[in-house]
Amino acid sequence: MSDADALLQEISAYLKPQDVERVRHALEFSDIAHRGQLRLSGAPYISHPIAVARILTPLHLDAQTISAALLHDVVEDTDVTGEIIARKFGKSVADLVNGLSKLDRFKFETTEDAQAENFRKMLLAMARDVRVILIKLADRLHNMRTLDAMTRDKIERIARETMEIYAPIANRLGLSAIHQELEDLSFKHLHPNRYAVLSKALQVARGNRREMVGKILTALRQRLTRNHIPAQVSGREKHLFGIYRKMQTKSLAFSQVLDIYGFRVLVDDVPACYHALGVLHALYKPIPGKFKDYIAIPKANGYQSLHTTLFGPLGTPIEVQIRTHEMHEIAEAGVASHWMYKSARNTPINNLHQKTHQWLQSLLESLSESGNSVEFLEHLKVDLFPDEVYVFTPKGRILALPRGATVVDFAYSVHTDIGDRCVASKVNFELAPLRTELRNGDRVEIITAPHAKPNPAWLNYAVTSKARSHIRHFLKTVNFQESAAMGERLLNQALASLNVKPREIDMAAWKRLLKTTGAKSREEILADIGLGRRLNVVIARQLIPASEAMDQLPTGGVITILGTEGMAVQFAKCCRPIPGDAIVGVIKSGQGLVVHTHDCPTLRKSRGGADKWLDVAWDKNISRLFEVGVRVVVANQRGVLAKVASVIAEAESNIENVNFTSEGDYTALSFTLQVSNRKHLAEVMRRLRKLPEIIQIARVKNAVA
């Protein structure tokens, strides 16, 4: 029997005759379209789409999905267009095929950008219709099975991509068999020698342990029957990469991995699961800390089961999974169980689809808020991190978060507004910082404030894609708004130097400028000026007619520093300017306006000459604090640091940082203090000089040097 006949026979077992005919039509169309094409292995190309379709038939997927699987490479590799597919097979099949087609028509700067953008397109299509990713996973699985025909560098790239992206997606959707085979094949191609050694060791162990496995199976069945629990008991073997991963994470030799074999118990209902657990714990003693209840708290992919590890004969650990038949169906088919078991009363499957839909919606949020495709791919990899912790809200709702997640991740998982406005938290009724890493069973309460906003430092410890994408999106938006405001001030200064008032620039002038520069909006040009990507003087001259620009002579203008500009104005770390210092401004590309003291050595050594400097001045009513460097040399005496810190605090200054170096009888203390202006700094230094232990004190003007 040919592969094509086998496919038609397989779908005839569950599809209606008219649906089988639709699939036959798609098969014939694909065969004609690919005629004459060969795979790298030398096999006719049609063998690949047929193999992809056959991977999907055990999941009982519908005729549209099987047809799309047969046609998934037609648009990419032949002259057939999406319009032809839609006309012959319907819009749904055409949409599925389109979601699987790469973006070959576009030019990307790097291979990584192209790869990331292809993932982005595929996952956008997946969010609309989950069947896209089911076909893509089957496509990737068959490609992995036939990877040997490729060059070594391509093999490694595809295998790594499969291990990092596709296998975790299969796991996230609950497709157990596909997930495990993708991991094993990736392992085989990435580490061929390790795979070969481990595979041989497993075959030897399988023979040595066959008798013991048989005895344990018999004992489990007899004990369950004696307690009147109808059950199917079977042995299961860990997949090869699962064994390798356990050896890696726990630093074990193969001989120390005793739970290569596990046992699965399938019962009729949930009470029977817990009854069976008690019976088996009476047969073999449970190992403390090795019990997990995924029935009460299911995994994010809908997986439900009781896991326990027992002391078996001769002290051998036995892993046992106990679940209902329905839970087993979901564990094996995951989100695809929707097509296998369509009963509306099948609540767990409905819940699984709801969770999958929520996950896809969060992917869409990350998709819309990511600045670029590579950033989105980073979010996706984080989101697919398999290990999870389960934490509780104050009302008892359970949230699943990746291992390593912090309070910030929890806040964003509750709601975006909660995350944006969180200022503190209580973990298990005690105040805890936002960077606190959460553990299983923690009860977390978020404290918010109306005017709070995300902090850039959160990116250092937020791990979930939702939290990171929202924080980045907020910072980019704020940065854009602040840069546009600063750009407007810089442009107004340039216009003033040309004796032109801003209100004299009409909309027609702005429209001409937008057409000339290719910018999308006035705000974009202003933000570019604020970030140093465009020169304010150049834009000013472009906004006024050429004849007028020639007649104007620059008259100068000063930009006032308010201290509230946010990220649009940076205060140079090299000289740490504070109100009262004579200052100059420099526009740096991507950073905006950077303020230095007028005598900053670093500024004078930089490439930009004095003609690139801007006139800036402090506003008279600045109320914020600024960082300043102070070096204090003290005599080595007990408690001197405490005395110095006390005087600084009494002068209403904060110590941001302190370092010290001992030099014989003296110690040099380097402080970073927060002060409001030069007068405040002078008051702090005056009070410090009164201490008898102080030998020398000075402001550090060139901190970098």
pLDDT digits (tens, 9 = 90+) for 426-443: 998 888 888 899 987 889
Question: What is residue 515's predicted lDDT score, i.e. its pLDDT?
Answer: 80
Alpha-carbon gap, residue 145 to 32, rounded angstroms: 25
Given 77, 148, 551, 619, which residue is catalytic? 77
CB 401 within 8 A of CB 381: no
pLDDT at residue 485 is higher than 70: yes
- Cβ-contact 459, 504 below 8 angstroms: no
* Mean pLDDT lowest among 55-59, 324-328, 518-522, 696-700: 518-522
Per-residue H/E/C for 276-338: HHHHHHHHCCECCCCCEECCCCCCCCCCCCEEEEEECHHHCEEEEEEEEHHHHHHHHHHHHHH
Length of the chain as a residue count: 705
| Parallel/antiparallel/unpaired status of strands 569-571 and 592-597 | parallel
Q: What is the pLDDT of residue 469?
A: 80
Instruction: Supply angle C-alpha 112, 114, 115, rounded to 5.
Output: 65
Inter-helix orientation angle 465-497/407-414, to 10°: 90
pLDDT in tens, 226-276: 999 999 998 877 788 888 887 877 777 776 665 666 899 999 999 999 999
* 510 or 604, higher pLDDT: 510
Query: Is residue 488 over pLDDT 60?
Result: yes
Check residue 630 and give its pLDDT.
93
Q: Report the alpha-carbon distance of residue 369 to residue 388 in Å, rounded.
A: 24
**Range scoring the smallest mean pLDDT among 184-193, 530-539, 545-554, 686-695:** 545-554
**How many Å is the Cα radius of gyration of the chain?**
33
Helix (H, G, I), strand (E, B) or coil at 45: coil
Residue 148: the pLDDT is 85
Pairing of strands 317-324, 306-311: antiparallel
Q: Is the pLDDT of residue 647 over 50?
A: yes
pLDDT at residue number 381: 55
pLDDT value of residue 369: 54
Question: What pLDDT, on the 0 to 100 scale, is given for residue 632?
Answer: 92
Q: Is there a contact between 302 and 330 (Cβ–Cβ < 8 Å)?
A: yes
- Determine the longest span between alpha carbons in the chain, in angstroms: 105
| Greater model confidence, 81 or 224 | 224
Q: Is 76 a catalytic residue?
A: yes
Tell me the average pLDDT across 556-569.
Answer: 69
Task: Give the domains, in start order, of the chain with CATH numbers.
Answer: 3-190 (1.10.3210.10), 194-341 (3.30.460.10), 473-618 (no CATH), 626-700 (3.30.70.260)
Residue 314: CB atoms within 10 Å? 6
Task: Read off the pTM.
Answer: 0.57
CA distance 217 to 674: 71
Catalytic residue among 21, 76, 112, 656: 76
pLDDT score of 226: 92
Task: Identify the residue with better confidence: 282 or 502.
Answer: 282
CB atoms within 10 A of CB 404: 15
Task: Band the pLDDT of 553: cuts 50, 70, 90.
Answer: very low
pLDDT exceeds 80 at position 572: yes
d(CA 289, CA 302): 23
Instruction: Check pLDDT > 50 for residue 215.
Output: yes
* H/E stretch holding 397: none
pLDDT tens, position by position, 108-152 = 445 566 666 666 666 666 667 778 888 989 999 999 998 888 888
- Of 381-385, 484-488, 553-557, the one with minimum mean pLDDT is 553-557
Is a pLDDT exceeding 90 seen at residue 410?
A: yes
pLDDT tens by residue, 330-358: 777 766 665 555 444 445 555 665 666 56
Indicate if 83 belongs to the active site. no
